[in-house]
Amino acid sequence: MRDTKKSIVSGLFNTSELKVTSQQMDRFNGGRELALNIFSHLSPKQIAFLISGVVHEDCNLAFNQFVRNSNRITIKIKKT
């Protein structure tokens, strides 16, 4: 089944072809069962896509933006 989700990281719409049934998607969209229980045959990346719309490229994008951002959060420890 082909599924399209909006990524919570990039805001882009990503489409993936997954081996899931419409009954499994109905159970998932019902929100009463864990995705891991319904889609135990899928990889963690595929399950993450179903939950959040995030694909591998989104993770690379988010990581690169964090690493290149000079205004990252830093922790300053005061010595007493």
- β-pairing, 2-6 vs 13-17, is antiparallel
pTM (predicted TM-score): 0.65
Residue 39 lies in a domain: yes
For the segment 16-71, what is each residue's pLDDT rounded down to a tens digit?
A: 889 999 999 999 999 899 999 999 999 988 998 888 888 877 766 666 655 555 55
Residue 74 lies in a domain: no
Rounded Cα–Cα distance for residues 16 and 24 (Å): 16
Q: Is 78 helix (H, G, I), strand (E, B) or coil?
A: coil
Does the pLDDT of residue 79 top 80, yes or no? Answer: no
Residue 51 lies in a domain: yes
Q: Provide the number of structural domains found in the chain.
A: 1
Residue 73 lies in a domain: no
Residue 77 lies in a domain: no
| 27: containing domain | 2-68
Higher pLDDT, 78 or 4: 4
User: What's 31's DSSP letter?
Assistant: T
